[in-house]
Amino acid sequence: AAPPTSERPRVLITRRVFQDLQARLAEHFEVRDNPADAVWSGAELREQLAGCVGLMCTAGERVDVALLDAHPQLRVVSNIAVGLNNIDLRACAARDVTVTHTPDVLNETTADLGFALLLAAARKLSEAERYLRRGDWSKWAIDQFAGADVHGSTLGILGMGRIGQAIARRGALGFGMKVVYHNRSPLPAEAEQALGARWVTKDGLLAEADHLVLVLPYSPASHHIIGAAELAAMKPGATLVNIARGGIVDDAALARALEAGTIGAAGLDVFENEPALHPALLAAPNLVLTPHIGSGSMATRRAMVGLAVDNLIAALGCGPDAGRPPA
Ligand code: DGY
């Protein structure tokens, strides 16, 4: 039989999640949650984590040395995200804190959003819609909102992990695109053949791509990997899409490049200081913006939360000793 609530190990969920999935945690743990879905400061998170052996959090919360040192009882961090750049993995490893995340379940949904942004940016959908809503449409014109073709063009992908490969499949099979990619290491030849994709250097990628999609994890090594010099090296009419993490693109440099016509268009789902946006982006032309909704279909968000719940239960174990180091 389940132990009484008072004896159960305590876990914290930092944001409001689906109640039926949260209930699975309550079968094993005393769950402290955030029904108001408030965004906690670092200090508030530190306070809320008191006595918790498990933490289920999102990419919006930082798990750093200060938090870990304040909570030596913490055993598991279950991130409701595939990206782990909000967590100091080295500090967790040094303290024997297990870290889990939610890969795979969001690949196709995130690739869908990448393609939506690519199509919307290349074909100027946001600008065209704003024009209609303003009541500015008075006549059809031959070059009105004439953008760049996506079908039959060259798709560049920076970061060829699982989401990158899902983007490649959409481009090659759905839109007859030639696919080039850059990744630290090339895929095995059979995988390249199946995807119809070819490894190129980073410089080659910038030079060849008509449309470039960024799908690599954020790390100090990928900080501003697309900055002024890289934007200048892209084709003049090219489209840039970032569905990975803010900070991979230098947002100020991108705004300048769009303003100057260095590249043709861009679509961004992630930003350097989100939820704040660089003010220059709001004024930049040919730019489609979405608020970090890459994995945001209801089915995929449920799959992510379900997996994060399972990960937390599996990593902590069940019963009154859950999360206690073995004697
Ligand atoms: C992820 O899973 O990393 C998404 O970006 C949501 O944070």
Q: What is the pTM of this model?
A: 0.95
From 24, 78, 89, select the one nearest 311 (Cα to Cα).
78
> Residue of the nearest CA to atom 6 in ligand 1?
81
**Structural domain contains residue 191:** yes
Q: For residues 160 and 72, state if they share a domain.
A: no
Task: Band the pLDDT of 323: cuts 50, 70, 90.
Answer: confident
Average pLDDT, rounded, for the chain: 96
Q: Specify if 16 maps to a domain.
A: yes
What does the pLDDT average to over 266-272?
A: 98
Residues 116 and 77 in one domain: no
Ligand 1 atom with the smallest distance to the CA of 79 is 2
Residues 4-48: pLDDT tens digits?
566 799 999 999 999 999 999 999 999 999 999 999 999 999 999
Q: Is the CB of 105 under 6 A from ligand 1?
A: no
Domain for residue 323, yes or no?
no
257 has pLDDT over 80 = yes
Q: Which residue's alpha carbon is at the smallest distance from atom 2 of ligand 1?
A: 81
Q: List the strands of the sheet with 265-268, edge to edge.
A: 197-199, 178-182, 154-158, 211-214, 239-242, 265-268, 287-289
Q: How far is the CA of 192 from the centre of ligand 1 (A)?
A: 26
- Does a structural domain hold residue 321? no
Q: How many CB atoms lie within 10 A of CB 204?
A: 14
305 Cβ below 6 A of ligand 1: no
Does position 3 have pLDDT exceeding 90, yes or no? no
Pairing type for strands 211-214 and 154-158 reads parallel
Dihedral in degrees, nearest 10, Cα atoms 287, 293, 297, 302: 170
Are 261 and 280 in the same domain? Answer: yes
Query: What pairs with residue 30 in β-bridges?
Result: 10
Q: Do residues 155 and 98 both lie within one domain?
A: no
Task: Quick: pLDDT tens for 305-317.
Answer: 999 999 999 999 9
Tokens (6 digits) for 1 = 């039989």
Residue 135, pLDDT > 90, answer: yes
Q: How far apart are CA 155 and CA 176, in angstroms?
A: 10
188/280 same-domain check: yes
Is residue 120 in a domain?
yes
User: Which of these ranges, 179-188, 254-263, 318-327, has the smallest mean pLDDT?
Assistant: 318-327
Same domain, 118 and 64: no
User: Is there a single domain that holds both residue 164 and residue 303?
Assistant: no
Structure tokens at 140: 């059809």
Residue 107, pLDDT score = 98
My answer on whether 64 and 176 are in the same domain is no
- CA-CA distance, 95 to 74, in Å (whole number)? 9
Residues 188 and 269 in one domain: yes
Q: What pLDDT score was predicted for residue 130?
A: 97
Residue 112 shares a structural domain with residue 234: yes
Partners of residue 100 on adjacent β-strands: 78
User: Tens digit of pLDDT for each residue in 151-190?
Assistant: 999 999 999 999 999 999 999 999 999 999 999 999 999 9
Has residue 324 been placed in a domain? Answer: no
Query: Residue 18: which of 295, 303, 314 has the closest Cα?
Result: 303
- The protein residue with its alpha carbon nearest to ligand 1, atom 1, reads 81
Read off the CATH number of the domain in which 69 is found: 3.40.50.720
Instruction: Dump pLDDT digits (tens) for 83-101.
Output: 999 999 999 999 999 999 9
Q: Is 164 in the pocket of ligand 1 (CB under 6 A)?
A: no
Positive or negative torsion for Cα 198, 265, 245, 56:
negative
Pairing, β 52-57 against β 154-158: unpaired
Q: Rounded mean pLDDT of 271-277?
A: 96
Q: Which of 17, 63, 82, 248 to mutate to test the pocket of ligand 1 (most atoms within 8 A of CB)?
A: 82
> Rounded CA gap, 253 and 240, in Å?
13
Classify residue 194: in a domain, yes or no.
yes
pLDDT at 2: 57
pLDDT on residue 32: 98
Per-residue pLDDT, 7 = 78
Q: Do 51 and 61 share a structural domain?
A: yes
Shared domain check, 251 and 137: yes
Domain assignment present for residue 81? The answer is: yes
Q: DSSP state, 318?
A: S
- Residue 257 identity (one-letter amino acid): A
- If one counts the domains in the chain, the total is 2
Domain ranges, residue 28: 5-105+299-316
Q: Measure the CA dihedral 60/65/69/74, to 10°.
A: 50
pLDDT tens column, 219-232: 999 999 999 999 99
Q: How many CB atoms lie under 10 A from the CB of residue 139?
A: 5
Q: How far is CA 244 from CA 202, 209, 211, in A?
A: 17, 18, 15
